[in-house]
Chains A and B, each alone.
Chain A
């Protein structure tokens, strides 16, 4: 064992090392030389620190050796990946089939759809349906459920939309990112195409459709507590109208109204209003200090306590979220 070790090391002309020395070095924190190669297997190029001010001096020192090891690293990675993917395909197929099988089997054993003796048909659903109108003042019991009985969950869901848009802004907004010339050129090119291309069919149909769509969306939002609909569905319709407008007439006009500042302001204020209304009703409800809102006449527009303002808030958030996603992914800006 020792002999072969020495032979190998003598051939390559390095000072021979006994296993004990290697171990001692390792315990002392010395890196064995052959470890370097293994560390190059990661899929991603090593981090660059362009933001760091004092980094330039040492990158010059290391740049050449790093370049070599990078190429070697990519080569190793390729071999490793081809082997991995061959196995991966078979394994994922098996795992996927097993999971699908288990899920289908479990779903088959669930209680049937809409049967009277189902566990879901209990006192909870009963109260929602029978006393919902009296408790919440909303004819549409779904709106009563999501915006009054379980308003905290809906607040969470609206926040999910806000957070998602904020994350996409962080990732995609051009002024928040590195200058990318190719991307800038592409966007400029698209804008000139938008201006040159008459797109008459789209424009004329948009002239008719956009106001109607947005109006219908507003109707669905405002009637959320009376008829099927509400903030989420109405907001989605308004968002579709905004997107159609942006498609037909370009982003220029709409981005004068909806830009980063106004976008965060409007959605933020809508969420704050939601939070304020519900905080009031949670606080009064939990501490049993009354604070009931007049429920109004069921079926009238001004009825259902907080449900109407909450529907409007949710509608604003959903509409702007949809438009924001469209705008950020198509143009990289708001």
Chain B
């Protein structure tokens, strides 16, 4: 077996060891260096793995221990998984670097090492969700993910985050509970926890018509659990307060990555546990499609009403999650490709919006209301550009990252008339709504500030800009535009990955 095949295991292991070691140190610097080292290591390993798998055009399973698959645990990696691990490590690094100033201000010095512990474990759990081939292992790492995600919201010590954390914890645990119910029911009727073995058992069950009720119920419970945790529309109520009130790095990572980990798991379950035909015959994809469309529209409508800038961006996440679910709900290969691509696009765009919003908030003297942010982009130009690029990308203007997934969503819907009409209408309406709340915000940020706001701005010191923030916003802008222009190689990688996944 080539040595490269160890990379998924090593990257999960190094994150977990890093997480265990981090609370030993009290010094902020050392903790940050350890974290950076882990992220760089994961980045390098994922890159090597991605290149190897792409050139060979193959995927592999990795035996965890001395016992082969149905008895022991197993990891599985293909080009799609490697690409996602790569993107997750980059985005986490950029968010943490860009939000470093916020971390230093918002989080008590005594808590910083525990905060980075949570970050390391969060990355390990997301990597495990990406790479695992066993649904019970997935559940274990969902637990770690839940606790860490709540802890990074809570780390900022104000009343609002505690309330938001309690809401998030309750909803998230409800989701974990439903997922566990689903897994145990599926185990009872198939006798396996390994994804590929469950698939053959499920196909046989469908063929013989046995245990249809528990099969449908377990599928429904797993979808319900994961959609609660990834904030699909009717279950999104915890998201705006959790993402809107926490410190910038946490908001960026929660919005950009944590939600996606669960969606990736759902895609894996759809592809590797159930087959697309079974899903279509059980009408699961139809339900997801309808909820996705509802989320696209309602998330934007809610965002339209917001005046708190971070909550507005958080509601926009609900709409973007709706896009991803709509792509999955189309039930076609192109639809799921578009969904996967949108996961990457959103992972690059939303952290940029949060970081840029943080820069603008700092520039206008720590004000969160839209009114007070008027003219702030003139003081912090790069953050202003970042917010503008992010907005245009979210609206779906060509040459920005958000355009390509929309095109592919449209292409993916052509196979069925009903899907096509609904998708096109929903895309048009949602883009319009996105434009309606992003464009006024952008115009307001670039226009001249009023007299009062100017006075406040004069009082706040000019040294607010941090180099880290500027660097990470710069990198994110470049990668966003790059994703918008050269999307075909990434689409090809996703296609290869999805073909190998099935």
Q: Nearest CB to that of A145 among chain B residues? A: B71
Alpha-carbon distance A271/B157, docked complex (angstroms): 28
Chain A 118-139 interface mask (CB, 8 Å, partner B; 1/0): 1111111101100000010000
Decide if A286 touches B160 in the complex (CB within 8 Å). Answer: no
Decide if B307 touches A148 in the complex (CB within 8 Å). Answer: no
Residues of A within 8 A of B368 (CB): 47
Does B57 count as interface, using CB distance less than 8 angstroms?
Answer: no
Does B398 count as interface, using CB distance less than 8 angstroms?
Answer: no
Number of contacting residues on B, CB 8 A? Answer: 90
Decide if A175 touches B447 in the complex (CB within 8 Å). Answer: no
Decide if A106 touches B6 in the complex (CB within 8 Å). Answer: no
Residues of B within 8 A of A102 (CB): 217
Alpha-carbon distance A125/B187, docked complex (angstroms): 12
* B-contacting residues, A68-122, CB 8 Å: 102-103, 105-107, 109-111, 118-122
Does B491 count as interface, using CB distance less than 8 angstroms?
Answer: no
Given contacts A110-B214, A268-B20, A275-B13, contact A119 B191 (CB under 8 A): yes
Kindly specify which of B138-146, B337-345, B387-395 makes contact with the partner chain: B138-146
Query: In angstroms, how far is the closest chain A Cβ from the Cβ of B24?
Result: 6
Alpha-carbon distance A143/B447, docked complex (angstroms): 67
Residues of B within 8 A of A160 (CB): 140, 143-144, 147
Q: Give the secondary structure class of A's interface.
A: helix
Does A207 count as interface, using CB distance less than 8 angstroms?
Answer: no
How many inter-chain contacts with C-beta < 8 Å in the A-B complex? Answer: 229
Alpha-carbon distance A265/B22, docked complex (angstroms): 11
Query: In angstroms, how far is the closest chain B Cβ from the Cβ of A111?
Result: 6
Does B501 count as interface, using CB distance less than 8 angstroms?
Answer: no
Given contacts A29-B441, A176-B110, A275-B20, contact A135 B67 (CB under 8 A): yes
Alpha-carbon distance A105/B211, docked complex (angstroms): 12
Alpha-carbon distance A157/B444, docked complex (angstroms): 49
Chain B 189-203 interface mask (CB, 8 Å, partner A; 1/0): 111100000000100
Residues of B within 8 A of A124 (CB): 70-71, 191-192
Query: In angstroms, how far is the closest chain B Cβ from the Cβ of A73?
Result: 13
Contact of B147 among A49, A57, A163, A278 (CB under 8 A): A163
Does A233 count as interface, using CB distance less than 8 angstroms?
Answer: no
Q: Give the secondary structure class of B's interface.
A: helix
Decide if A268 touches B23 in the complex (CB within 8 Å). Answer: yes
Contact of A29 among B62, B67, B137, B447 (CB under 8 A): B447
Query: Interface centre among A51, A111, A152, by most B CB within 10 Å?
Result: A152
Decide if B374 touches A29 in the complex (CB within 8 Å). Answer: yes
Alpha-carbon distance A52/B23, docked complex (angstroms): 26
Query: In angstroms, how far is the closest chain B Cβ from the Cβ of A22?
Result: 12
Alpha-carbon distance A152/B12, docked complex (angstroms): 11
Given contacts A26-B440, A282-B9, contact A106 B307 (CB under 8 A): no
Decide if B16 touches A159 in the complex (CB within 8 Å). Answer: yes
Q: Nearest CB to that of A122 among chain B residues? A: B191
Given contacts A47-B245, A106-B214, A152-B64, contact A271 B20 (CB under 8 A): yes
Kindly specify which of B114-122, B287-295, B467-475 makes contact with the partner chain: B114-122
Leading 10 A-B pairs by shortest Cβ distance: A29-B444, A156-B140, A106-B217, A119-B191, A285-B66, A167-B151, A152-B73, A285-B65, A120-B191, A176-B110
A residues contacting B by CB (< 8 A) are: 26-31, 35-36, 38-39, 42-49, 51-52, 54-55, 57-58, 61, 102-103, 105-107, 109-111, 118-125, 127-128, 135, 148-153, 155-157, 159-160, 162-164, 166-167, 169-171, 173, 175-178, 264-265, 268, 271-272, 275, 278-279, 281-288, 292
